[in-house]
């Protein structure tokens, strides 16, 4: 954002637009890449994840050597959001493939972290909610 403000002379409103556009593109990418995988690409989750990592490596190179105009900043925000949004969803899918089915609730079922303490006889005495995991 500092580069966009100082070098590209983007206003605060334009920077706010980029800040909103990037996560929206991430949501779109998280839905788009699995659909492409199911219909066109037909690769495994790991192969798609490797593709996304390769595409993510292009983003800083593009920003370093080719980013010269404000419209390119908007385009970079869309590409960055789409890549990283889909990267997050595919990384979670690959992780889900590694977790045994009998342990899925342990890794994915908790929406919060709990501390449990037990008595000397092994009975649960209480739980403390620490916050979202």
Partners of 127 in beta bridges:
116
74 pLDDT more than 70? yes
* Mean per-residue pLDDT, 118-125: 53
* Mean per-residue pLDDT, 47-68: 91
pTM metric for this prediction: 0.71
DSSP collapsed to 3 states, the chain: CHHHHHCCCCCHHHHHHHHHHHHHHHHHHHHHHHHHHHHHHCCCHHHHHHHHHHHHHHHHHHHHHCCCCHHHHHHHHHHHHHHHHHHHHHHHHHHHHHCCHHHHHHHHCCCEEEEEEECCCCCEEEEEEEEEC
Looking at residue 108, its pLDDT comes to 65
Partners of 117 in beta bridges:
126
What confidence category does residue 89 fall into, taking pLDDT thresholds of 50, 70 and 90? confident
């Amino acid at each position: 954002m500092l580069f966009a403000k100082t070098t590209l002379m983007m206003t605060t409103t334009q920077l706010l637009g980029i800040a909103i556009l990037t996560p929206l593109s991430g949501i779109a990418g998280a839905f788009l890449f699995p659909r492409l995988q199911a219909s066109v690409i037909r690769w495994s989750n790991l192969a798609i994840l490797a593709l996304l990592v390769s595409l993510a490596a292009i983003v800083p190179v593009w920003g370093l050597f080719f980013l010269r105009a404000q419209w390119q900043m908007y385009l970079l925000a869309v590409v960055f959001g789409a890549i990283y949004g889909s990267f997050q969803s595919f990384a979670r899918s690959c992780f889900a493939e590694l977790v045994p089915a009998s342990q899925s609730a342990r890794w994915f079922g908790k929406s919060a972290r709990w501390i449990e303490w037990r008595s000397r006889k092994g009975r649960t005495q209480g739980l403390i909610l620490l916050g979202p995991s």
